[in-house]
Structure 1
C-alpha cells in the first residue's frame, strides 16, 4: 500500500491530540492539551482557528444538535465554537487534582467515551474510562488505567478497541451497541516502537495507531496482530490520527513538542505540526454526540 505524507500546518502545538473530522462542515477539529485550546482547521483555505478553553482539553467531538462537546480536565462540556462559550454537561473527577481527561470518541449511538490519566507521573494507575450517555448520565466502565488513550470501533460496531498507553497493547472488547457495554477483553496488537497513543479504524476494519516516541502511525490487522503498514512522521511524539476529507481517504495526524529537548526539536522542527497522509483506504466517519 503506497502512501504519501505532507505537513499541512506548522502548528507547533505543545501537545496536539484528539482530532475529529466534521463531515457536515468539512473541517478538522483537534486539540492542544497543554495549550488549552481547540483548533479548527479548514482544508480548503489552510486556515487554522484557535478557541481557548482555559483548561487542559483531551478531545473534541461534534454534537448532533450543533456545536461541539469537549472533555476538559474535570468533565464533559458543551462548547459553542462561534462564541467560545462553555457549559458543563457532567463533572467527572472534579475533586481529584491528580487526574485529567485525555482522549475520547463517540460510538455509533452517540455515546461519548473518554478516559482519565494522572497529570504527573504516577506508579499507581489513577485513571478510569467513562461513558457519557446521551441523557447526560455518566458511567465508569473501567478503572485502574494508567493513561487512557485511543478508542475505536469495528465497522460492524461489534468490537471496541482501547489503549492504555504504558501497557503497549491495543485491547479489544466485545461491544454491545444497544447497551454500550463491553466484555471479553483480549490483546490484538503489541506495540514495540514507542507507546501506542491515539487511534482510528478504517472501513476494512484495520486499526491505525499513532506511536508516541515512535514517530510513526502504523496500520494493524486486529484479527492476526500483524503490522501491515508504517507511515513515518517527522515528529517523534506522534499522538493521534483520524480519517477526513470529502471521501474520508485522508489521514490527519497530530503531534507534540512537549518534553522534547533542544537537540530533538532542532532535528525535528515540525514537531507539534499537523500532517496529512494519503494511504489508499477510506476511514470511518467521526460520530457525533447524540445528547
Structure 2
C-alpha cells in the first residue's frame, strides 16, 4: 500500500516542478496551465500562491533569493518579495504549439530547461536549452518530443534527462564547472504500461527517481539504469518527485482525466508526501 498522503488538494491542471527551498523551510510547485506557483510552509503549514501572465513550465531557486521561471517561450526572474518579474531571456524560436516544460538548475549554476511539442501525437521538434545569469540561452539538444526528467547526481558529474514521448531515460557525463557534457548513453526505455518517464529527482547515492504517470508509479533506477524499486502512487498521473528533508513529495496531474477517473480520484492535481526512502541530492541554485 502506498505511504503517500495528500498534502495540498490544489486540483492543479498539471502540478509540476516541486522544489525544496530549505533556507525558507518551504516546498514550491507550479500548475503549468494554471499559470501559478504554490508555496507550502513545511513547518508552519502556511500557504501562498503566486500568479503569472503565462503558463509556468518550471522554475528554480536563485542565489539572490529570486526564482528563475520558464514561461511559455522565455525565462524570467521573479522576486517573491515584490512579486515582480523581469525578462531574463528573449523568446526562443519555437512554434506556437510548443512551450517550455521541465527545467532545473544544474550544478554549473545554469538553468537547464526543455520544451514540449504540443501536437498529437507529439513530434520530435522540441529542444533542451541552457540559460545563464547574463541572459544567454543556448540550444543544447534537439530532436526531442517531450523534454523531461532533468536531474544530477550529488557530485554533479552525471546529468539525467528523459524524453517522455520516446519513453527513454538518458545520461551524460557532466562537468559541474562548465556545463560541458560527454559520453551520452540511454539508461532505460519504458512503455506506457511500465510508466513512461516524466519528472525526476536524485538521492545521495546517485539513484534516479522517475515519475511514471502512465502507470501511476515512481521508479528508482541506479546511476547505470538498473531498476531498483517501483512505488505505487495513490492516484493516477504522478508527475515529479522531490526530496525535502525526511519527506518525499510528488505532484500529480488532473488535465485530460475522464469524469469517471476524477470521481474515483478527486484529489488528482494535488501535492502528496511520504516518508523519504532516501536522502535527496542537494538543490542547486541559479548563479544570478
Corresponding position of 1:49: 48
Corresponding position of 2:241: 241
CA distance in 2, matches of 1:119, 1:53: 21
Are the equivalent residues in 1 in contact too, given 2:149–2:200 (CA < 8 A)?
yes
Are the equivalent residues in 1 in contact too, given 2:122–2:146 (CA < 8 A)?
no
Corresponding position of 2:263: 266
Q: Does 1:181 align with 2:177?
A: no
Corresponding position of 2:284: 287
Corresponding position of 2:18: 19
- Any gaps of 5 or more consecutive residues in structure 2? none
In the TM superposition, what whole-angstrom CA distance separates every residue of 1:153-186 from its partner, at most 9, and x where no partner exists? 1122111100111111110111122221222211
CA distance in 2, matches of 1:35, 1:221: 34
CA distance in 2, matches of 1:287, 1:205: 15
In the TM superposition, what whole-angstrom CA distance separates every residue of 1:113-141 from its partner, at most 9, and x where no partner exists? 00111233255312100001233211110
**Distance apart, 1:278 and its partner CA:** 1.2
Which piece of structure 1 moves more, 130-139 or 29-38? 130-139
Normalising by structure 2, we get a TM-score of: 0.94
Matches within 5 A, 1:44-123: 44-93=43-92, 96-123=95-122
Matches within 5 A, 1:141-160: 141-160=140-159
Are the equivalent residues in 2 in contact too, given 1:79–1:86 (CA < 8 A)?
yes
CA distance in 2, matches of 1:144, 1:92: 19
CA distance in 2, matches of 1:146, 1:21: 28
Are the equivalent residues in 2 in contact too, given 1:243–1:285 (CA < 8 A)?
no
Are the equivalent residues in 2 in contact too, given 1:235–1:272 (CA < 8 A)?
no
In the TM superposition, what whole-angstrom CA distance separates every residue of 1:82-114 from its partner, at most 9, and x where no partner exists? 332111100232663121000100112311000
Normalising by structure 1, we get a TM-score of: 0.93
- Any gaps of 5 or more consecutive residues in structure 1? none
Corresponding position of 1:35: 34
CA distance in 2, matches of 1:172, 1:95: 24
CA distance in 2, matches of 1:190, 1:126: 20
CA distance in 1, matches of 2:205, 2:78: 33
Are the equivalent residues in 2 in contact too, given 1:3–1:280 (CA < 8 A)?
no
